[in-house]
Structure 1
Amino acid sequence: MDSKNIIIIGSGSAALCAGIASLEKGASVIMLEKADEHEFGGNSRYTAGAMRFAYNSFDDLKPLLLNPNDERLAISDFGSYTKEKFLADLKYFNQEVEITDLQQYLVDESLPTLQWLGSHNIKFAPIYSRQTFIKDGKYIFWGGLSLEAEGEGDGLVQAELAEFLRIGGTIKYNCDVQELLTENGKITGVKFLENGEEKTLNSNAVIVACGGFEANKELRIKHLGEVWAKARVRGTRHNMGKGLEMATAVGAALNGNFEGCHATPMDFNMPEYGNLDIPFIERKHYRKISYLFGVMLNAKGERFVDEGLDFRNYTYAQFGAAVLNQPDNLAWQIFDSKVDKLLYSEYKTHDASFVEADTLEELVTKLHGVNPQQALATLQDYNASIDTETPFDPTIKDGKATKGLPLNKTNWANILDTPPFKAYPVTGGITFTYGGVKVNTSAEVLDEKGNAIAGLFACGEMVGGVFFYGYPGGSGLTSGAVFGRSAGYSAAEYLG
């Protein structure tokens, strides 16, 4: 390969966005993917494909839609999601950290990046199934999240790959990059194993887009703590932290919160990793994130989070950690039949784990690993504490709360009184890690002195300093696309 061409390591959405952007600027691009063709696409293929971005009205959304003539649009209220609101949502999860340059760039470039994807044959659909409730005959979108890629995460990656190949990109599978090559402080290529055979590829520009370290049990223990050895990995088994290792070996500085991660409640009986062999529409089905319409009990039979703290977009990426830290890394999500229609489709798949009973007294005896006496007392106290005057309204934070409990539920507190009752066992799952390499808004990788490492760029989960102590749902794919596009443009510009 000519040294004036660009190498991209990884093949998820961020990598493909980087590839499309590089090709758009006239560069030649080769993508090296560790997995085989069946497993390409990184974590992106396991997502629901939702992308969070700032918009002022439906006028910003309509040009992005695959089907702008959908009859439901006439009775849909998308509201708005301003830059100010997006920044406020990020700041909420920063704790003491002020909004960073990377976060500001993410917000500012979110809508332009979605529009750019649209110009490259990537289309979107309103998230009617998971982000709306019907109220007064209208579909009300909630939580600042309105559109998903057609075909969810799998459809997003497949469409991006098709575009990457259409405009001249090349992808090679079974290529496990081992080392970044440098000379006089500048990137000169990579060393990799192709089907076990050691090879070298020359290039003056490399974009590292091969994910975080969530699939590496040893690194999870090192950075997140011992309990994370027990976490289920929601996505790919290939994100072992190799990109971070290679980048730091050539002087990259680290950035962000290495003790933080996107962690979701998952089916307790799921396999250790996600599964690409099931249809894409079911790949998210191990997640169990409708807890806000019920209660969660730990092995002691006690509640341990405010299930109604906020819309699930703002809590699900944190509550997985809360579950994982319970005794036996276990919790049970309990619902009555009043809310059955509100539960996401993953609660209704053929292999979803649950128990069922006609009374709470019977249900608690079926909760494996749970103190039944305390569980029943907790549920009875919960029922007795609910404000019955405030109406239940899933389209807003309705303030229908409990009163007088050691841990109150602040919204969507319904009495559990309508059989059959169902309980779903969950544990903590990890989606991606927050710590990464330090980059600027041009996606150039920086050294400890803040200088750009010539020819080295990063995007996707490799980037640290975008998320710290939490995550508003849908921001991850958007961040990958924003910094992927930036990396592709910057690498092409660097090569001239």
Structure 2
Amino acid sequence: MPLNQIERNGPWDLLVAGGGNAALCAAIAARRAGRSVLIVEAAPKFYRGGNTRHTRNMRCAHDHATDTLTGPYTEEEFLDDLLRVTGGNTDEALSRHMIAESKSMLDWIQEQGVRFQPSLGGTLSLGRTNSFFLGGGRSMLNSLYATAERLGVEVVYDAEVVALDIEGRTFRAATVRHDGADIRVEAAAFVAACGGFEANIEWLKEGWGEKADNFLIRGTPYNRGTVTRMLIDAGMQQIGDPTQCHAVAIDARAPKFDGGIITRLDCVVFGVVMNRDCERFYDEGEDIWPKRYAIWGRLIANQPGQIAYVVFDAPNIKRFMPSLFPPVEAPTLRELAEKLELDPRKFEATVTEFNDAVVGGFPFDHTEPDGNRTEGLPVGKSNWAQKIETPPYYAYPVRPGITFTYLGVKIDQQARILMNDGNGTPSDNMFAAGEIMAGNVLGQGYAAGIGMTIGAVFGRIAGQEAARHGA
């Protein structure tokens, strides 16, 4: 139904900007509390859901094994993992609150129709910590949309928020562009759950410079940060570094936008990574993959031309989840280098130097640090070091794949957006959830599944608090 027809039912108790996990959790929570809710989603219906469409799992604390998880994952262990990957660059009180709230999320989100499958094995090593959605992120989204619509939440697609009417600390209305018309939508409360600005290359350049032209955007092209910019310009408190983001190594042959999970590569720990000058530049075996996969996008972003190559040999080809594209293959290292358009002499020398430095001889186990390492190299490999000596040889070209950005708005434990007034005064009726406030938890770094935790937990909180505001 067109927005101008739906708007006749207004003013609304709650207007939600966005259509992904965080937005839906907010809408469902508020609707279950008896509030009228309108979701405006900038994307067409087919592309609804933002980056949630490409997710697979969610990380939640739990005290015991379940049907889909192999053991307990305590709040303290979750916090330790978060502090490790962020280097302590997090609002610890807010993060503790999120982790505590995550314990009930596994049951709550299943009550909204979402189903889980047993956790995947392979390089992911997440069987104890992360719950995997049955059917993936799109299936999870479809379940949440079905529940929201059954409860009476109204949803309008191709509906972009282009202006906000904010008086001091109070939201009054949003101007929403739909079917070529700008329509004023009034509401008693507003939840911003419309993603980061990763699809806005010009904004990325403000932090990264011209390097950003070579970034690939893993998710939706609709996350351009327009609401984020409007909120900050209207006096909301900003948080986060414009260069910090969830950035992984993805296949360099992936499309510019929306390549999703199938372009990500999990083979780094099985070989070596070198830049276009055939130089290794970081420890491929620093820690288990779920705690380090999200550093590789930033590492590659700082290499010449923002490109690198993951090189491995025949025994490892079946040890990881393949990408959408097949690896480059050759019977010799020299021929592999030529196919990659790299200097064959330098390429062979780097692999030979690595092979000569491998020590350990322990049983290979990619699920735990195994002590197989190198010695004497300028850039060592701490674990999972194996000689690359068995043909055929393989390589994947990789570029930075940006999932979402961390610069956004600051919130409190009630998901209220805080004002930039020197005191951090909470806004009266504005809330945020998901990527737009992820920088409160993720000052830097990432661990698998935390993005969905942030969205679900603070989405539910935002919806509940917005419902109380309208009571």
What TM-score does the superposition give when structure 2 sets the normalisation length? 0.94
Partner residue, 2:203: 219
Matched residue SS, 2:24: helix
Partner residue, 2:6: none
Q: Does 1:50 align with 2:54?
A: no
Matched residue SS, 1:171: strand
Deviation at 1:284, TM superposition (A): 1.3
Select 2:294's aligned residue among 300, 309, 317. 317
Q: State how far apart, in whole Å, the 2-side matches of 1:322 and 1:99 are.
A: 25
Partner residue, 1:456: 430
Bigger shift: 247-256 or 451-460?
A: 247-256
Select 1:363's aligned residue among 314, 317, 336. 336
* 1:476-495 mapped onto 2 (5 Å cutoff): 476-495=451-470
1:334-355 deviations in Å (ceiling 9; x for gaps): 1111111212132xx4xx1532
Partner residue, 2:401: 429
Output the amino acid matched with 1:228: A
Select 2:347's aligned residue among 369, 375, 391. 375
Select 2:32's aligned residue among 11, 24, 44. 24
Partner residue, 1:278: none
Output the amino acid matched with 1:362: E
1:23-79 deviations in Å (ceiling 9; x for gaps): 1111111100111111111111022x2111112321xx33xx5xxxxxxxxxxx824
8 Å CA contact 2:118–2:127 kept in 1: the answer is no
Output the amino acid matched with 2:436: M
Cα 1:411–1:264 change in 2 (3 A) is same
Matched residue SS, 1:93: helix
Output the amino acid matched with 1:121: G
Output the amino acid matched with 1:372: P
Cα 1:229–1:101 change in 2 (3 A) is farther
Output the amino acid matched with 1:466: V
Matched residue SS, 1:14: helix
Select 1:115's aligned residue among 107, 114, 117. 107
* 1:333-348 mapped onto 2 (5 Å cutoff): 333-346=310-323
Structure 2 segments unaligned to the other structure (5+ residues): 1-8
Select 2:42's aligned residue among 34, 44, 48. 34
Q: State how far apart, in whole Å, the 2-side matches of 1:3 and 1:183 are.
A: 17
Deviation at 1:469, TM superposition (A): 1.6
Select 2:178's aligned residue among 160, 183, 194. 194
Query: What is the aligned length?
Result: 460
Cα 1:411–1:177 change in 2 (3 A) is same
| Percent of aligned pairs sharing the same letter | 35
Deviation at 1:259, TM superposition (A): 2.4
Deviation at 1:4, TM superposition (A): 4.8
8 Å CA contact 1:208–1:243 kept in 2: the answer is yes
Output the amino acid matched with 1:123: R
Matched residue SS, 1:247: helix
Partner residue, 1:305: 282
Structure 1 segments unaligned to the other structure (5+ residues): 66-76, 133-140, 276-282
Partner residue, 1:467: 442
Q: Does 1:236 align with 2:223?
A: no
Matched residue SS, 2:199: coil
Q: State how far apart, in whole Å, the 2-side matches of 1:32 and 1:99 are.
A: 30
Cα 1:131–1:479 change in 2 (3 A) is farther
Cα 1:98–1:271 change in 2 (3 A) is closer
Q: Does 1:127 align with 2:101?
A: no
Deviation at 1:96, TM superposition (A): 5.2
Q: State how far apart, in whole Å, the 2-side matches of 1:143 and 1:408 are.
A: 29
Partner residue, 2:14: 6
8 Å CA contact 1:3–1:188 kept in 2: the answer is no
Partner residue, 2:419: 447
Q: State how far apart, in whole Å, the 1-side matches of 2:468 and 2:209 are.
A: 41
Deviation at 1:194, TM superposition (A): 0.6
Output the amino acid matched with 1:367: L
Deviation at 1:330, TM superposition (A): 1.2
8 Å CA contact 2:79–2:96 kept in 1: the answer is yes
1:128-177 deviations in Å (ceiling 9; x for gaps): 25466xxxxxxxx5585332111111111111111111111110011111
Deviation at 1:252, TM superposition (A): 0.8
Q: State how far apart, in whole Å, the 1-side matches of 2:282 and 2:179 are.
A: 47
What TM-score does the superposition give when structure 1 sets the normalisation length? 0.89
Q: State how far apart, in whole Å, the 2-side matches of 1:269 and 1:98 are.
A: 34
8 Å CA contact 2:119–2:127 kept in 1: the answer is no
Deviation at 1:80, TM superposition (A): 2.9
